[in-house]
Homo-oligomer: A and B are copies of this chain.
Amino acid sequence: MALDDRKARVLRAVVEEHIETGLPVGSRVIARRYSLGVSPATIRNEMADLEDTGYLDKPHTSSGRVPSDRGYRLYVDELMPERGLSQDEIASLELLFRSKAKDVVSFLKETVKVVSETTNYLGFVLGPDSGSVTYTAVHLLPASVGKALLVIVTDVGFVETCLIEVPPMSTEEIRRVSDMLTRYLANVELSKVPDRANHMLHEEASRYSEIVDQVVEFLRSVQLMPEGERLFVGGAVNLLGQPEFRDVDRVKDLLLAIESEGLIQYLLERESRSGNPAISIGGENESDAVKDLSMVYGRFFAGRSEGKIGLLGPKRMDYPKSVAIVRFFERRLSLFLSQLQ
């Protein structure tokens, strides 16, 4: 289904013009603004052909053309120009990595902010999964009477804390328990944790079964942490500027879908389109709320764990720029997180 050269150039022109203006594109504009060296009439013929083959749509019988999903697909797969980032752009993104990293979570949140602000689309990061998680540290710290603070660090650098109830104990005793926990449970795969915990109880900690139970329970709950808690989303407001969201109800549906129904997780899960970064366009994902939206996303790695970073924008988003930015972060985040460990 390869298009001849001129058809391809017309399609590309229509897509780019439409992306820029948001309006249906007429033959005159193409003839005038894109130097194809032919008259509007010829363009019209080409556009009619492109419509027949499904690359263009017409909102109504007599107005300009608009790219169909298939048209966008061809555009991003074959027609769109490669675009790198300028020195300035890179410099401004690099600022993020210079700032003091407090902890992984706030760093990822900050990343979302930067991504969404520089693109003016909705940005998201799905934190590294903990598929094969082990805990590099498990500590118990004295808090107030009857309470202790459990601190664990996952192998991808997430710090999780939890207050647990403990019988009254001296600081020294808490420390002993903490040491035991570290000895038995740190760097142990989750599946082996109950086993190790039993060992621990039998050998030296029978008195502390209450504590150990809570610890095991918490380790499990972190492991099972729903994707929602690993997902950071920001810049939804940016979508409101887009003409396809003049309608409040649509905005509401979209925000609800993202906030309550885990739309983004759903989309990420649903298909792992290959392509790097992966791009999914409008109606390709049959969810109604996103039929005017496209998603560009890539993967990054923290150790063996994989995270995702991406953008959600209008179907007529700036694909070359979005791709460049996602690519940048794929590489840069992996680098940064590996240094952190």
A residues bordering B, Cβ < 8 Å? 101-103, 136-137, 139, 141-144, 149, 151, 153, 157, 159, 161-163, 236-237, 240-241, 245-248, 251-252, 255-256, 259, 340-341
Contact = CB atoms under 8 A, between A and B. Distances in A.
Contacts of A245: 248
A101 B143 contact: no
Question: What is the count of identical protomers in the complex?
Answer: 2
A259 B247 contact: no
Given A143-B137, A161-B161, A149 B151 contact: yes
Contacts of A236: 255
Given A161-B161, A240-B251, A246-B248, 18 more contacts: A101-B163, A102-B161, A103-B163, A137-B141, A137-B143, A137-B149, A139-B139, A141-B151, A141-B153, A149-B151, A149-B153, A151-B151, A151-B161, A237-B252, A237-B255, A237-B259, A240-B248, A248-B248
B141 A103 contact: no
A137 B237 CA distance: 39
A248 B254 CA distance: 13
B163 A340 contact: yes
Contacts of A159: 149, 161
A144 B149 contact: no
B151 A102 contact: no
Contacts of A153: 141, 143, 149
Contacts of A255: 236-237, 240
Contacts of A237: 252, 255-256, 259
Contacts of A162: 102-103
A159 to B, nearest CB: 5
B161 A103 contact: yes
A237 to B, nearest CB: 5
A139 to B, nearest CB: 5
Contacts of A248: 240, 245-248, 251
Nearest to A252: B240
Most buried by B among A159, A246, A256, A341: A159
7 contacts: A103-B163, A137-B142, A139-B141, A144-B341, A149-B159, A237-B255, A240-B251
Contacts of A246: 248
Contacts of A241: 252
A158 to B, nearest CB: 10
A220 to B, nearest CB: 13
Nearest to A255: B237
A144 B144 CA distance: 28
A139 B64 CA distance: 66
